[in-house]
Amino acid sequence: MDSFVEKNFRSAFDKELISIVDYVLNFKIESEEAYETAGLCLLDSLGCGILALNYPACTKLLGPVVPETIVPQGVRVPGTNYVLDPQLAAFNIGTMIRWLDFNDTWLASEWGHPSDNLGGILAISDFLSQRQKKLVIRDVLSALIKAYEIQGIFALENSFNRVGLDHVILVKLATTAVVAQLLECNREQILNALSLVFVDGQSLRTYRHAPNTGTRKSWAAGDATCRGVFLAMLAKKGEMGYPSALTAKTWGFYDVLFQGNPFQFSRDFNSYVMENILFKIKFPAEFHAQTAVEAAIQLHPQVITRLNEIQEIIIQTHESAIRIISKQGPLYNPADRDHCLQYMVAVALLKGDLKAEDYEELASADPRIDVLREKMKIQENKQFTQDYLNPEKRSIANAIQIIFKGGSSTENITVMYPLGHRRRRAEGLPLLLKKFEKNMLTRFPLTRVERLMALFLDTERFLEMPVRELMASLTHAKGASKN
């Protein structure tokens, strides 16, 4: 019988958690490129969030749980008049940023959107700034760089989606780590908070895949960054942690949810992820489809007058795109459509563009879209897959060729790197600024948008701006929701 008695001896905290705490507490960010890129990520994420306020499916989820509640010295939600507690504000801001699938992206063994962490970072920064701790934008960007790094480095070698878990677990992890640091948690408290992340329940990916694709994928990140704030605040209050949350036999995360495998890491934490982040500049499209949409837009003039002559549309792509966004059959909602490679390509061929409204019911009723989808043949290009996985290239390639009846065809248009890739940063930057301006104008008058643009471009002034001032400048928009 003794062999069945549990040995109740607690080990030290798992080394994976210790490495995160060491990074968050001790690493000094010295990369100017990382700070410059982080400023662009903040700018772009705010613009994406403001644009999402034009969509009722998003705005119905926002605001206080109890109508008309206003939290004294609470967190301001950009583009609205809501003043909320930091946890609910994190959900609101995170959901806005992620709603239209237009914010920045990280692609690796596990893809994701590190700017999702901004919901928690902005919320807790505004919350603290109105009290005893006077944070400036540099503090926000430092936390953002570290959140990107934690999420991105974990994603390089560790695929949660292949065991059925959603990648937003890494948003919860990264938000918890950097928010705990902003709250001035000590080392043990941050370790406790991180262990709570892995003990916590984790989201299934089913809402991202056929036949269940739905709008939860647009608020899952808001939920995760909100939960990160909650766990960090619990730890700050002294809530205990669980040292072997990952490695405990039978009951730990590895054995229960990761098929017994430990996490693998190929890089130390630094500022690599922020420096290599991918922006979605022109199209609110799942990132594996970005280059396909670019190629389709190039082909638009050649096919728009010959739609009835199209016999076949050949799309060569990489394995991840086929696994994640290639779909046949009905598409039931905007979330279904913006994760369908064939739908995105069809719209781009027909319109020479792709916008968020193209996923809505009215636009999807165009019968030509499904006609084109039926003519598409998806093929894996092994070289594209290899280049996607190659850390020295990190391409996201797609190629499209149209075959017409009678045997003629267009050229095979190949786009290796999307516009938002680091290799195309100089080309993409002016367009990224235009994207921000256009998005902000949907909610704010031109004079305020111009002031915000000037502020973002004045790096020295921007970095030292108090967080509370930036958040105040983003409230009281035209048409803003009122408590």
Residues 100-141 have pLDDT tens digits of 989 999 987 777 899 999 999 999 999 999 887 789 999 999
Residue 361 pLDDT class (50, 70, 90 cuts)? very high
Which segment of 13-17, 240-244, 395-399, 479-483 scores lowest on mean pLDDT? Answer: 479-483
d(CA 9, CA 320): 43
Q: Residue 109's pLDDT is what?
A: 75
Contact 348, 337 (CB under 8 A): no
Tokens of 98: 């992620």
Strand partners, 314: 377, 401
Question: Given a cut of 70, is residue 252 above it in pLDDT?
Answer: yes
Beta-bridge partners for 379 = 316
pLDDT value of residue 2:
54
Q: What is the mean pLDDT of residues 385-389?
A: 92
231-245 residue pLDDT tens = 999 999 999 999 999
Q: Which residues contact 273 (CB under 8 A, 6 or more apart)?
A: 106, 114, 148, 149, 151, 152, 153
Which of 283, 303, 307, 306 lies closest to 293 in space, CA to CA? 283
Strand partners, 165: 204
As a whole number of Å, the CA-based R_g of the chain is 23
* pLDDT value at residue 443: 94
Q: Is the confidence at residue 18, as pLDDT, over 70?
A: yes
For the chain, the residue count is: 483
Cα separation, 89 vs 60, in Å, equals: 14
Distance CA 461, CA 458 (A): 6
Q: What's the confidence (pLDDT) of residue 479?
A: 56
Residue carrying the six token digits 């939600």: 77
Q: Could you tell me the pTM of the whole model? A: 0.89
pLDDT, tens digit, for every residue of 413-442? Answer: 999 999 989 899 899 999 999 999 999 999
90, 130, 170, 233, 450 from 74: Cα distances, Å? 12, 8, 26, 15, 27
Helix (H/G/I), strand (E/B), else coil: 414:
strand
- Answer yes or no: is pLDDT of 483 > 50: no
Give the residue carrying structure tokens 């299934």.
204
Angle of CA points 63, 66, 68, to nearest 5°: 70
Q: How is residue 53 written in tokens?
A: 């306020």
Q: What is the pLDDT of residue 365?
A: 97
